Structure 1
Amino acid sequence: MKHEILETIKKFDTVIIHRHVRPDPDAYGSQLGLAEIIRASFSDKNVYSVGEEEPSLAFLGNLDTISDDIYQGALVIVCDTANTERIDDARYSTGAKLIKIDHHPNDDAYGDLFWVDRSASSCSEMITSFYETFRDELVMNETAAMLLYGGIVGDTGRFLYPSTTDETLRLAAKLVEFPFDRPALFQKLYEQPLETLHLSGYIFENLIVEPNGAATIYISKETLEKFHCTPKQASNLVSSFENAKGLKAWIMFVEEENEIRARLRSKGPVINELAKEYRGGGHPLASGATVYSNQEVQEMREKLMQLCDTYQKGL
């Protein structure tokens, strides 16, 4: 499949790269990293990266604003996005050919070509592997290496998550051969405004871990306003309390304008099936969903309790 993808890229003069809404470092890293590799390798191609910009990740690079007509006859590649509902910019389907590159469960096998590797820690790891496979034909530069390394770091929790494999570390080691400023990258990835730190204090005070290891926290719009935080800033705190003793799985509910975002994390119980029940999905231990009522919030809480009960009993 990697060979087919490379040969397809070679055939098109215009390549447009998408990723998912509410981007994280891996979405930015894989999208912009692949774009940088294609530009460096094929100087005659027009390469664009599109989607709504995330201010907290703007240091990684800028996105392009393009007109609809550029999609005519173009190759479209979507990175790090499991299903079509989460693709940022609906024009992804208007190109001449569509490729999906992703590391989530392939529940929505969209695209004319799709390369899905659930064993990869991140889509950025996959793009790094893609480059290494064809390193005689492709060019990696310092910018691409920085972007892909940042994506891997983000999706592995600084190499702490179980998704980190020997292959992850091997490919990351190849990227750090390029002289980008790793300390500066880490600082920008993880620095937080004081408002967010104050909100994290509220979360620590109000989080209750049940005897079976389940926990939930609800961040209302009023709470966001009190701490002068955005829903995105609140959601970024979902792993801030993962070291709490006895914690097995948890959901952070963040109230937005017309919906409630549910961020699910786990140290053992598989939670992505629960996320799928509520218009979401993701990895077995890290997923997201969307709910629209207090009733659905309560339902998710009860189902999380059941998951942790079953896990605790070893069933």
Structure 2
Amino acid sequence: MNIYDIETVKLLLEKQPIISIIPHKNPDGDAIGSCLGLYLFLKQLDYDVEVVSANDFPDFLKWLPSAKDILIYDNTPEAAKERLEKSGLIFTLDFNALKRADSLAPLLEASGATFVMIDHHQAPDNYARVTISDPKASSTCAMVYRLIEAMGKESLINKDIATCLYTGLMTDTGNFKYPTTTSNTLRIGAALIDKGAENSLINSNTFDTWSYNKSQLLSIALRNMVYLPQYHTAYITLTGEELQAHNHQKGDTEGFVNYGLMIKDAQLAIIFIEEGDFVKMSLRSKGDVDVNQIARAHFNGGGHINAAGGRYDGTVEEAVAYFREVLPTLFN
């Protein structure tokens, strides 16, 4: 984050534009936390600002301050379209290619607004006037905190803003477990706690909210797990029928993929989740196994070195067959 980017953002805000903030499709804790944190910060400064999401987000994030204010395109497409059409400044948070906004992508591509990207994924597209990109950052929430700090507005971070940013910081670092957790990450977490974020409450509200159906779905996922010791790889499959049988809700499979990495010596874990005529994939790894490259090369996705997502057009069986076909080449 350089001085020029900070000064440009400040100049753009001085124009008092109508502002929209956009997360990626299927927003997670970091996407929702960073969007709401920035939204509440800009509301403190009396801007006309809204968060617009392509689709809904998991119930375990709906307790966050002002989560009810998020405009969901899937629910009210005309209102979301009208909002984007009149926006003069658009922040895109936690993604770096407009296609990741899914149904909002055509509206964003057609917009005459000025764009500011804040993101920590690799290889950003070149669509924004200001691109604040740091693949080494632990989370987009950490980057939003640093932006507010660099603007000299840290005193405006209240309990609600701190709660939103801490939630994303916590979820995107796996409760401060992943390699992206640095001393700087912990300092930001401490600063947010000093601003009012309640660690224990945030943890409980986010993680201790499982339904019985989700617990049963996890048992199915673990039963379906396959481990390939010669490749130090575990994979999990969940079919549409299995999801339906357990009344699957958005966010229910969050974190399931990590169970594969709990196996001793496992270096790569993937979950294949059937969604209609395609398969959604989450990839996780340890060490220098680069799942971002795997997702980009084979599964129309991307992300970070140790955490990425992708998709396969076809059935779960076809996705697994293709994965097992290319797997030997990944470890050569």
Please report the TM-score for the alignment, with normalisation by the length of structure 2.
0.86
Unaligned runs of 5+ in 2: 73-78
In the other structure, the counterpart of 1:261 is 280
Counterpart residue identity of residue 183, structure 1: S
Counterpart residue identity of residue 36, structure 1: L
Displacement of 1:165 after TM fit? 1.2
Counterpart residue identity of residue 33, structure 1: G
Q: Quick one: distance in 1 between partners of 2:254 and 2:154?
A: 40
In the other structure, the counterpart of 2:95 is 81
Unaligned runs of 5+ in 1: 311-315
Q: 1:67 to 1:107 in 2, by over 3 A?
A: closer
In the other structure, the counterpart of 2:71 is 64
The number of equivalent residue pairs is 307
- Partner SS state of residue 239, structure 1: helix
Displacement of 1:69 after TM fit? 4.1
Question: Is the Cα contact below 8 Å between 1:219 and 1:253 reproduced in 2?
Answer: yes
Q: Quick one: distance in 1 between partners of 2:237 and 2:80?
A: 40
Question: Is the Cα contact below 8 Å between 1:214 and 1:305 reproduced in 2?
Answer: no
In the other structure, the counterpart of 2:164 is 147
The counterpart of 1:5, out of the listed 4, 9, 12, is: 9
Equivalent positions of 1:1-315 (< 5 A) are: 1-40=5-44, 42-43=45-46, 45-51=47-53, 52-56=55-59, 57-60=61-64, 61-62=67-68, 63-64=70-71, 66=79, 68-70=81-83, 71-72=85-86, 74-87=88-101, 89-90=104-105, 91-93=107-109, 94-136=111-153, 139-191=156-208, 192-211=210-229, 212-230=231-249, 232-268=251-287, 269-277=289-297, 278-293=299-314, 294-307=317-330, 309-310=331-332
Q: Quick one: distance in 2 between partners of 1:136 and 1:201?
A: 47
Q: Quick one: distance in 1 between partners of 2:207 and 2:40?
A: 24
Displacement of 1:276 after TM fit? 1.1
- Partner SS state of residue 50, structure 1: strand
Q: Deviations over 1:100-159 (max 9, x none)?
A: 110001242221221101111000000011111123486211111100000000100010
Counterpart residue identity of residue 160, structure 1: K
Q: Quick one: distance in 1 between partners of 2:119 and 2:49?
A: 19
Q: Quick one: distance in 2 between partners of 1:255 and 1:134?
A: 44
